[in-house]
Structure 1
Amino acid sequence: MPEPHTLGLFVLAALVLVLIPGPGVLYIVARSVDQGRRAGLLSVLGVGGGNMVQVLWAALGLSALVASSALAFDVLRYAGAAYLVWLGLMRLRAPDEAIAGAVTETPTVPRGRIIGQGVLVAALNPKTAVFFVAFLPQFIDPAQGSVALQALGSVFVALALCTDALYALASGTLADRFRGRAGARVARASKYGTAAVYMALGAATAATGVRRR
């Protein structure tokens, strides 16, 4: 484990980074607006799990491979982009009964599936892999190796879970107020808005790193 002074600097730097909305936060906010706070918080758990997968990849050296290999980077980003676009298309195909369910804040997708989707969204994000390779080693003594990397990575994921939960609660609460006033009309609009966000995130993920070549 890093020295207390180093750990303190890391926490401060990590807090600045996790407070800045990224693709994971946008995914969580979209889910919270569309299906309520419970679904949003379940997505937070999923994204946190996916980020832990990224930490393990970094500890095993797989993230370094993604960062250094154009082929590995492209495979991961296209897989992530395709998955996000698929989520958007599935949301567009959701029946009207599912839209009505969102008004009651009851997740219309099984809880396990919501968490699993969050895991995949985070685990297939190549920018997260590159981020861990670039950010975490700055606070790690090389002699401590992967153990320190996993420890700091876990701290980062825990901080992200806290801030992501705040985003989910805030956006879900705000959306609930609008749904309470306009009912199904707002729920239907959130359905199409969420689908658009998923597909836009997919397009952005596919475009990530184009300039690397």
Structure 2
Amino acid sequence: MLVQFLAAAGVLAVLTMVPGPDMAVTTKRALASGWQDGLRTVGGITAGLLIWGVLTVVGLAAVLAASATAYTVVKLAGAAYLVFLGVQALWHSRRNGSGAAQPSVPSAAGSPWRTGLVSNVFNPKIAVFYTGLLPTLAPSGLSSQTGMALLVLLHAVLTFLWLGSYVMLLAKARAFFERPAVRRAMDRVTGVVLIGFGVKVATSQP
């Protein structure tokens, strides 16, 4: 069972480090308003994973993954939110380029924790990932629900540690990222990436 758990941990670690919407949202918030809000965003993302984990264990995520209508509703809502964040980042880059003084946190951004939570909860790919992959990774010595619950907790911890470390790395290079030209470039890149992920989510299939 220990070998199976370590193998599952390795798979989850690799999947956690693959760049995706969560990293893009974290980057946007950390660069816009500092490492504290970056960590709060990561906290929201982790809470979203735990919500998906609970839904998976009780079987509701499987219903979503199997229902084309439910999947479409959730994915379009998630895609719209990612596109909104991307457009917001692009608009912020234009305002930064105008030379006007900017608030440290964009007024439309809202709570960083809520931003992370919403972006994660409205990503239906996590439902597919949890219901499709976790059962195959769960250690055979445990019940299916216990094994999946354990892996969900592990995935949440790995995500918080990975994205939290990433936020702190951005903080170390804060002086570089606060240069106006660099900030504008990062806002534009992040905006395009978020919009790209939004389009990807919108066109994805269960």
Please, what TM-score do these two structures have when normalized by structure 1? 0.80
Conserved? CA contact 1:92–1:191, under 8 Å: yes
Q: Deviations over 1:34-93 (max 9, x none)?
A: 333222222111111111111111112122122222112111110101112223344455
With over 3 angstroms needed to count, the CA separation of the structure-2 counterparts of 1:179 and 1:142, relative to structure 1, is closer
Contact kept, 8 Å, 1:14 with 1:156, in 2: the verdict is yes
Residue from 191, 196, 213 that aligns with 2:192 = 196
Q: Is 1:145 equivalent to 2:141 in the alignment?
A: no
Structure 1 residues 17 and 99, CA gap change in structure 2 (3 angstroms): farther
Q: Which amino acid aligns with 2:134?
A: L
Is there any run of 5+ residues in structure 1 with no aligned partner, and where?
none
> After the TM superposition, which of the residue ranges 16-25 and 53-62 deviates more from structure 2?
16-25
CA distance in 2, matches of 1:143, 1:7: 11
Q: Following the alignment from structure 2 to structure 1, what is the Cα–Cα distance between the partners of residues 190 and 51?
A: 25
> 1:17 aligned to 3, 11, 15, which one?
15
Aligned position for 1:154: 153
Distance 1:27 1:197, change over 3 A: same
Task: Provide the secondary structure at the position in 1 that maps to 2:111.
Answer: helix
Residue identity in the other structure for 2:39 = L
1:6 is aligned to 4
Contact kept in structure 1, 2:21 and 2:194, CA below 8 Å: no
Which structure: greater helix fraction? 1
2:86 equivalent in structure 1: 88
Q: 2: distance between equivalents of 1:70 and 1:36? A: 39
**Which has the larger displacement, 4-13 or 114-123?**
4-13
The change in CA–CA distance for 1:71 and 1:161 in structure 2 (over 3 A counts) is: same
Deviation at 1:169, TM superposition (A): 2.0
Q: Flag the 1:139–1:194 CA change in 2: closer, same or farther, 3 A.
A: closer
Equivalent in 176, 181, 198 of residue 178 of structure 1: 176
Is 1:57 aligned with 2:55?
A: yes
- Aligned 8 A contact 1:30 1:197 in 2: no
Contact in 1 for aligned 2:46/2:156 (Cα 8 Å):
yes
Identity of matched residues, %: 26
- 1:207 paired with 2:203, answer yes
Q: Which moved more, 1:147-156 or 1:192-201?
A: 192-201
Following the alignment from structure 1 to structure 2, what is the Cα–Cα distance between the partners of residues 29 and 128? 20
Q: Measured at CA, do residues 202 and 172 of structure 1 come closer, stay the same or move farther in structure 2, by a change above 3 Å?
A: farther
**Distance verdict in 2 for CA 1:78–1:60, change over 3 Å:** same
Is the 8 Å Cα contact of residues 6 and 139 (structure 1) preserved in structure 2? yes
Whether 1:133 aligns to 2:131 is yes
